[in-house]
Amino acid sequence: MIRVRTIKITGRALTYISPNSRVSPSFPLITVTYSRSDSVRFLDSSFLVDLLQPTCDHHEDAVEYLNSNSDGAFGAPTPVLYEIYRHAAWAGGKDQLEETTEALDLVDPVPFTEPATRESALVRAKFLADGNTINEQDIMIAGVVRESGAALLTRDSDFKKIPDLDVEYYADADSD
């Protein structure tokens, strides 16, 4: 038996099938439909992990958020996708990476462009000037989000530290 879940985001459908899984009554079939609007949110890795992993503590929070915000458009900065892919490759090699890539087909990639690199550099410079630190991936994600003018959907409290970043929390902010 296989586990199937269907998620529709921004008008595209994803059917995620995990060949190593068995159907379980506790695993919900999720069907969510979204249409594009002026409300754009970029998804952080915390949200994507919580959405795609039913065993995560905040899985229901992520699903509930999507159900409550079905009029929004969603994307994922490419540094977020890198975070997800590197962990998948480390955890299960090429097979796990391919499975994760298929699962993440549900979001539109938002590239780390040259203007986003400049915005990231400004974020990092401000942190260094203030004597603060934050990981480089979060700086790159913040650069993409700030440059685009979108909001970042996360539960990572580190993003609270970044000035002029529109952050939205779908669950209590954690230190990730």
Query: Is 157 domain-assigned?
Result: yes
Q: Using one digit for the tens of pLDDT, what is the confidence trace for 28-80? A: 444 333 333 357 899 999 999 999 889 999 999 999 998 898 777 889 999 99
Predicted confidence at residue 81, as pLDDT, reads 97
- Residue 78 CA to residue 131 CA, distance in Å, equals 27
Please state the pTM of the whole predicted model.
0.75
Q: Using one digit for the tens of pLDDT, what is the confidence trace for 108-157? A: 899 999 999 999 999 999 999 999 888 999 999 999 999 999 999 999 99
Binding-site residue numbers are: 44, 138
* CATH number reported for the structural domain that contains residue 96 in this entry: 3.40.50.1010
Predicted confidence at residue 136, as pLDDT, reads 95
Tokens 């209590």 correspond to what residue? 172
Query: Is 13 domain-assigned?
Result: no
For residue 96, what are its two tokens?
């796990």
Binding-site residue numbers for Mg(2+) are: 44, 138
Domain that holds residue 97: 35-174
Q: 79 and 105 in contact (C-beta within 8 Å)?
A: no
- Residue 176 CA to residue 174 CA, distance in Å, equals 6
Query: Is 2 domain-assigned?
Result: no
Query: Is 29 domain-assigned?
Result: no
Query: Is 39 domain-assigned?
Result: yes
Domain count, the chain: 1
What mean pLDDT value characterizes the chain?
80
Q: Using alpha carbons, select from 12, 20, 14 the residue that is nearest to residue 101.
A: 14
CA distances from 121 to 45, 76, 131 (A): 21, 20, 15
Predicted confidence at residue 71, as pLDDT, reads 78
